[in-house]
């Protein structure tokens, strides 16, 4: 058996971290790495001390049929990327890589075309993370230069010019 390449090794870790998630729709795991050292991990779950969707047995976004990528303010959970960022020192995150893997709860399949939501993108930018690697299949992934998110500011689309 061939040795696993480093990128897929860290994505495998993110996939294992996602198994701690408590979302009823999709679970993500995030791993922040710098200089081949894991800085922190994060998964989807309610803030500490609050009940998780898996505990109460309901998801408000699912109940309201809210499509993927919309109305995250209604969600009980903190996203995996945010939890990983919260748990790390900013100095260590500067120039780091965030590895992200997500699975559909109902099927266990990897989430197609996944990426950080707009709120998590802003946190990734401010944390000083340089690169985001997103798992597409068990062996394939996309590498995103965070600088692209800065230069291609989607929040300017439809802006009121404030």
Instruction: Tell me which residues are annotated as active site.
Output: 81
How far is it, in rounded angstroms, from Cα 142 to Cα 124? 16
Tell me which residue of 158, 31, 146 sits closest to 87, measured CA to CA: 31
- Cβ count near 80 (within 10 Å): 31
Token pair 């081949």 is found at 36
Cα separation, 145 vs 116, whole angstroms: 13
d(CA 99, CA 70): 23
């Amino acid at each position: 058996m061939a040795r696993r390449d480093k990128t897929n090794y860290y994505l495998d870790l993110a996939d294992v971290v996602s198994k701690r998630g408590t979302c009823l729709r999709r679970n993500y795991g995030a791993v922040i790495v710098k200089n081949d050292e894991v800085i922190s991990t994060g998964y989807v779950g309610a803030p500490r001390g609050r009940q998780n969707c898996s505990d109460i047995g309901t998801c408000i976004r699912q109940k309201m049929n809210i499509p993927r990528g919309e109305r995250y303010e209604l969600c009980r959970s903190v996203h995996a990327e945010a939890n990983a960022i919260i748990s790390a020192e900013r100095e260590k995150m500067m120039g780091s890589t965030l590895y992200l893997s997500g699975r559909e709860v109902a099927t266990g399949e990897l989430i197609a075309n996944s990426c950080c939501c707009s709120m998590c993108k802003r946190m990734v930018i401010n944390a000083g993370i340089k690169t985001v690697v997103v798992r597409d299949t068990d062996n394939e992934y996309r590498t995103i230069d965070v600088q692209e998110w800065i230069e291609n500011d989607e929040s300017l689309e439809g802006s009121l010019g404030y």
